[in-house]
């Protein structure tokens, strides 16, 4: 199932999150764009936010709309970065191809 999320383009990588944003708030901010199957902020072993997370939608269209609308939007005090999530290997290949 995890592999399918990447292949279907429904999982978003979201970074530059303010420290006060939790899973619930992340879900609320993105839910206007469609049905969210999961929204998770990554935290360290002490429970402190790492400033990034993932939002998974039920369809690629919803995910694409969310990226278009949310990327660069100010949430709390920071401009959000949102993009379709990629596996590390794919991201490295993509970056290498650009250079």
pTM greater than the 0.85 cutoff: no
Beta bridge partners of 36: 57
Question: Whose structure tokens read 């290949």?
Answer: 93
Residue 57 has pLDDT above 90, yes or no: yes
What is the length of the chain?
99
Q: How many angstroms separate the CA atoms of 99 and 97, rounded?
A: 6
pLDDT at residue number 8: 65
Residue 59 three-state SS: coil
Share of the chain above pLDDT 90, in %: 74
pLDDT at residue number 4: 53
pLDDT band at 9 (very low <50, low <70, confident <90, very high): low
Helix (H) or strand (E) holding 38: strand 36-43
pLDDT band at 85 (very low <50, low <70, confident <90, very high): confident
């Amino acid at each position: 199932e995890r592999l399918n999320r990447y292949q279907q383009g429904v999982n978003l990588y979201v970074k530059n999150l303010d420290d006060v944003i939790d899973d619930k708030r992340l879900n609320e901010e993105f839910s206007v764009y469609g049905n969210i199957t999961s929204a998770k902020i990554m935290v360290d072993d002490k429970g402190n936010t790492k400033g990034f997370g993932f939002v998974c939608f039920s369809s690629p269209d919803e995910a694409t709309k969310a990226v278009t609308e949310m990327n660069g939007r100010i949430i709390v005090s920071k401009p959000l970065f949102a993009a379709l999530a990629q596996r590390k290997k794919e991201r490295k290949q993509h970056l290498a191809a650009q250079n």
